[in-house]
């Protein structure tokens, strides 16, 4: 990628149509027309260059698939975000924190996206007026101490707008912590610039949860972007989604999670895929993730271990899905370790 080329220019040259797919990736299935008209397509040149062959793990994340229109299992709004919206584009699910959607665009439209029904469409047009209503809600609800900024991708907004949003949130006395959810360190890492980091670092405590799903995404460009953010004092976490044919492999997850740690990104969550309409072909059985976590525990650093979780349908919240190690509880706790060996631990005091 030429050094003079800006991230805006890269984004401008994205693949967005069936004809683009035919030209650049050799796709020849007219059914994809209908998929793209329902669920928008965007693959920017950077991420396109990481795809090696049809059906590979990055292809499955980026390229529209006719199976998206054959989903009879999943739901349009699987997490009940619309019914939990306390103000336009503000979701209040948990007592002390909210989700604030500030942008409807992404650097790439992932085929497994939870907000697949909205991103890249007119349904997710966010205005200063709607943001003002969100800020007013937060000022009137001081029990909210944490805001997660998401979208779409917040970091695709202009620098000045990002700064204005953060400054507005920081002006609300009850807001203690701000988190940003962004996939651009993975899908468009050149968007992370020293100027952007300079704006972000003015609003600590600020955290960024990014999103890598496969070791092929851990490029030099991604490493550089994460280093800029980490050097700006911004703690980084990663929310990976478990996807069939992408990362449902022990060796792939080991390489991904240890590679993230080398990039100063803490693996935070490994998500069971949401029940999002149009994504059923990418979901795994819950036993897959549980068995993968059993294979990871003890074999890679605890720092590299995420929490396997399912975001329960209809807005019921995140539920940890953990392998079972406890055999029985009594005067002694009996359990197995990561090698399957039976261990005991003498209990203290009375049970709760």
Q: Of all residues in the chain, what percent are helix, strand and coil, respectively (each to 5)?
A: 35, 20, 40
Closest CA to 206 of 237, 185, 184: 237
Joined tokens for residue 312: 């329960």
- Taken in order 45, 46, 49, 53, the sign of the CA dihedral is negative
113 is in an annotated binding site: yes
238 is in an annotated binding site: no
Closest CA to 155 of 210, 215, 217: 210
DSSP 8-state symbol, 274:
P
110 is in an annotated binding site: yes
Strands 266-272 vs 236-242: parallel, antiparallel or unpaired: parallel
Strands 236-242 vs 206-210: parallel, antiparallel or unpaired: parallel
Strands 97-103 vs 90-94: parallel, antiparallel or unpaired: antiparallel
Enumerate the β-bridge partners of residue 15.
43
Joined tokens for residue 321: 């899905």
For residue 139, the SS3 value is: helix
Number of Cβ within 10 Å of residue 72's Cβ equals 6
Element (H, E) at 12: helix 7-12
- Annotation: binding site for [4Fe-4S] cluster: 106, 110, 113
- Annotation: binding site: 106, 110, 113
């Amino acid at each position: 990628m030429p050094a003079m080329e800006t991230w805006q220019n890269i984004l401008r040259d994205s693949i967005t149509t069936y004809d683009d797919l035919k030209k650049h990736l050799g796709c020849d299935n007219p059914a994809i027309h209908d998929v793209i008209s329902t669920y928008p397509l965007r693959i920017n040149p950077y991420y396109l260059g990481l795809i090696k062959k049809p059906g590979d793990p990055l292809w499955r994340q980026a390229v529209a698939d006719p199976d998206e229109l054959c989903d009879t299992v999943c739901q349009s709004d699987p997490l009940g975000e619309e019914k939990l919206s306390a103000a336009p584009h503000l979701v209040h699910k948990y007592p002390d924190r909210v989700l604030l959607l500030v942008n409807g665009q992404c650097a790439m439209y992932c085929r497994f996206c939870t907000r697949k029904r909205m991103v890249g469409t007119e349904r997710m047009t966010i205005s200063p007026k709607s943001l003002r209503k969100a800020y007013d809600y937060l000022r009137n609800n001081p029990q909210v101490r944490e805001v997660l900024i998401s979208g779409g991708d917040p970091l695709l907004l202009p620098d000045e707008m990002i700064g204005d949003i953060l400054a507005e949130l920081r002006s609300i006395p009850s807001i203690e912590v701000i988190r940003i959810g962004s996939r651009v360190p993975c899908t468009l890492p050149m968007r992370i610039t020293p100027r952007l980091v300079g704006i972000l670092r003015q609003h600590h405590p600020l955290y960024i949860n990014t999103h890598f799903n496969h070791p092929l995404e851990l490029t030099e460009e991604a490493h550089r972007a994460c280093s800029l953010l980490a050097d700006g004092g911004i703690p980084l976490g990663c929310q990976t989604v478990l996807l069939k044919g992408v990362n449902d492999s022990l060796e792939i997850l080991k390489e991904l999670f240890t590679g993230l740690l080398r990039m100063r990104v803490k693996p935070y969550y490994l998500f069971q895929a949401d029940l999002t309409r149009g994504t059923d072909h990418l979901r795994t059985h819950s036993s897959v993730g549980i068995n993968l976590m059993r294979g990871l525990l003890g074999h890679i650093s605890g720092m590299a271990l995420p929490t396997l979780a399912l975001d329960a349908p209809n807005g019921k919240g995140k539920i940890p899905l953990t392998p079972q190690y406890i055999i029985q509880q009594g005067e002694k706790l009996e359990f197995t370790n990561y090698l399957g060996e039976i261990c005991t631990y003498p209990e203290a005091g009375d049970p709760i």
